[in-house]
Amino acid sequence: MTDQINDLFARALGIADPWFVKEVDFDAGKQEMTIRVDFVPGARFGHPRAAGEHKVHDTETKRLRHLNFFQHRCILEVRLPRVRLPDDGVALVEPDWFGKLSGFTLLFEAFVLKLAQHMTFAAVARIVGESWHRVTAVCKRYVDLAVAATDLSQTSSVVIDETSHQRGYKYLTIVADADARKVVHVSKGASADNVAGFVQHLRNHNGSADNITSVAIDMSPAFIKGVTEHLPKAAITFDKFHVIAHASAAVDKMRRLEQKTDPGLKGLRWALLKDRGKLSREQADDLDRLVASFTTRRTARAWLYREQLRDILSRKQFYVVIAMLRQWCTNVMRSKVQPMKEVAAMIRRHFDGIVNWARSRQTSGYIEAVNGLFQAAKRKARGYVRFDTMKTVIFLIAGKLNFATINSHAA
């Protein structure tokens, strides 16, 4: 009966010859099950350092955390062979069901990874009964190995954006493959050097700067400089969402300036900044009354200019967008809405990149969504501090990593 039970556990664990379950113990007080695994006497083992099968020199025992059996914590106690290699060296042999991090089985680590893609490390740690640091270490190990195995030879269109990760204007830069819609590079800071770092990452993963023909960025001088210097064949696109964001900021600035002499503008901030479809009935009525006074209120004219800009950048005809945007800039520059005139001047400086939106429709909206997910995860975890941890979180959320490509014997 004992042999049948041991065989049942071996099949449940996926253990095959020459490995076998020797013994199963259960500690009711600790609610912990210990499964002792051994290998058949006389067995020979291969090793990545040398071809062929090698004799066992001596053994070493390791304890691994495995998936729970029902609610019971499960530990594998494995007697591992150390084999004598042809160069007279001695090397430890680990079966392919060992995990990448010392102390866990492969299935346990796979479970941790799956959970971590949908919840914070702290929540995963509570579920599996391990420390936050151990859970983080498992995820980081797999992310690093999967990123190292990534092939970027087909990457030709990218989106580059920065996101804050600490108070005090601490930023990191995220690069995503626009076609595959996945994050491919994360680095500290937000400067031209980050673009240079991405180009080096491309070279290290079968890619090339010459393959990059399209880049979507915001109007950061640092990113413009970086793309111009390091991705010379890439057409720059400034997506409409960043442009509209500048126009919205101009509307709010005009409201604050005019409110000093016009108390009737108080309480209208959100009515002016939200999309009309998201306004309450009361807010929509307030907005309608304000817009009706566009001949006397510059804030109303600023709002109308922004909506005109939104309409222009939503059009698909490239040359229509060019003509209408030029006329919009002319009209605004003739107005007395100073904050919006600053937006018009910015558009004129970056005109080609902005109108490229109508041609490529390439957007950083995907990265904005990733940024939102990351910020939400960061809040739940009360803030990720270490860059390595933040990088791991971003790749788990949006890297679409293929963990199956990791060699089972990766160190």
* pLDDT at residue 204 greater than cutoff 60: yes
* pLDDT at residue 220 greater than cutoff 90: no
Percent of the chain with pLDDT over 70: 91
Would you say how long the chain is, in residues?
A: 411
pLDDT of residue 166: 64
pLDDT of residue 222: 93
Instruction: Please count the other Cβ atoms lying within 10 Å of the Cβ belonging to residue 258.
Output: 17
* pLDDT at residue 12 greater than cutoff 90: no
- State how far the Cα of 57 lies from the Cα of 32, in Å rounded to an integer: 32
pLDDT of residue 387: 84
Who has greater pLDDT, 307 or 220?
307
- Does residue 97 come out as left (phi exceeding 0), alpha (psi in the -120 to 50 range) or beta? alpha
pLDDT of residue 58: 94
**Which band of pLDDT confidence, cut at 50, 70 and 90, is reported for residue 230?**
very high
* pLDDT at residue 60 greater than cutoff 50: yes
Q: What is the pLDDT of residues 77-103, one digit of tens each?
A: 999 999 999 988 899 999 988 888 888
Supply the CATH classification number for the domain 151-238+363-400.
3.30.420.10
Most confident by average pLDDT, 214-223, 297-306, 360-369: 297-306
**Which band of pLDDT confidence, cut at 50, 70 and 90, is reported for residue 409?**
very low
- State how far the Cα of 163 lies from the Cα of 182, in Å rounded to an integer: 16
- State how far the Cα of 90 lies from the Cα of 189, in Å rounded to an integer: 45
Q: What is the pLDDT of residues 249-269, one digit of tens each?
A: 999 999 999 999 988 888 888
pLDDT of residue 410: 47
Helix (H) or strand (E) holding 373: helix 365-380
Average pLDDT over residues 380-386: 59
Q: What is the pLDDT of residues 125-179, one digit of tens each?
A: 999 999 999 999 999 999 999 999 999 999 999 989 888 766 655 788 999 998 8
Domain ranges of the chain: 2-145, 151-238+363-400, 241-360
**Which band of pLDDT confidence, cut at 50, 70 and 90, is reported for residue 307?**
very high
Percent of the chain with pLDDT over 90: 48
CA distances from 209 to 135, 186, 213, 232 (A): 36, 17, 9, 8
The mean-pLDDT minimum among 8-12, 20-24, 55-59, 274-278 falls in 8-12
Beta bridge partners of 405: none
Q: CB-based burial of residue 79 (10 Å sphere; 0-12 exposed, 13-18 middle, 19+ buried)? A: middle
**Which band of pLDDT confidence, cut at 50, 70 and 90, is reported for residue 393?**
confident
139-160: string of b/e by CB count within 10 Å (b at 16+)? bbbbbbbbbebbebeebbbbbb
Average pLDDT over residues 327-353: 95
pLDDT of residue 346: 94
Average pLDDT over residues 378-404: 78
Residue 379: both structure tokens together:
């809040």
- State how far the Cα of 305 lies from the Cα of 308, in Å rounded to an integer: 5
Average pLDDT over residues 360-377: 67
Q: Residues 272, 275, 279, 284: is their CA dihedral positive or negative? A: positive
Average pLDDT over residues 331-340: 96
* pLDDT at residue 28 greater than cutoff 80: yes
